[in-house]
Amino acid sequence: MYRTWIEIDEQALVTNIKTLRSLSEGARFCAIVKANAYGHGLKEVAQIVSRVGVTAFGVDHIDDAILLRERFPSALIIVLGYTLFERFGDAVHHNIELTLYDKEGIAHAERMAASAATLLRVHLKLETGTTRQGVMSEDMLDLLLELKRCSHVQISGVSTHFANIEDTSDPQYASEQFSRFLAGIEQIRTEGFDPEHIHCACSAAVLVYPQTHQTLVRPGIALYGLWPSALVEQTVRKQNISCDLRPVLRWKTRIAQVKSVRTGTPVGYGLTVRMKQRSRVGILPVGYWDGYDRSLSGVGEVLVSGQRCPVLGRICMNMMMIDVSNVPKVEKEQPVTLIGVDGRHEISAAELAMKAQTIPYEIVSRINAILPRVVV
Residues 273/312, Cβ–Cβ less than 8 Å: yes
**For helices 10-23 and 42-51, what crossing angle results, to 10°?**
60
Cβ-contact 199, 124 below 8 angstroms: no
DSSP state letters, 306-370? TEEEEEES---SS-EEEE-TTSS---TT-EEEEEEEETTEEE-HHHHHHHHTS-HHHHHHTS-TT
Q: Which of 224, 269, 288, 329 is catalytic?
A: 269
Contact 109, 87 (CB under 8 A): no
Q: What is the C-alpha to C-alpha distance for residues 183 and 9, in angstroms, rounded to an integer?
A: 41
CA separation (Å) from 315 to 14, 222, 280, 311?
34, 29, 17, 8
Specify whether 269 is catalytic.
yes
List CB contacts of 19: < 8 A, sequence separation 6 or more.
Answer: 242, 243, 244, 245
Amino acid letter, residue 9: D
Catalytic residue among 2, 34, 148, 276: 34
The residues, ordered by sequence, that sit 6+ positions from 241 with a Cβ below 8 Å of its Cβ are 23, 207, 208, 235
The sheet with strand 56-59 has its strands ordered as 31-32, 56-59, 76-79, 97-100, 120-125, 153-159, 197-199
Catalytic residues: 34, 269
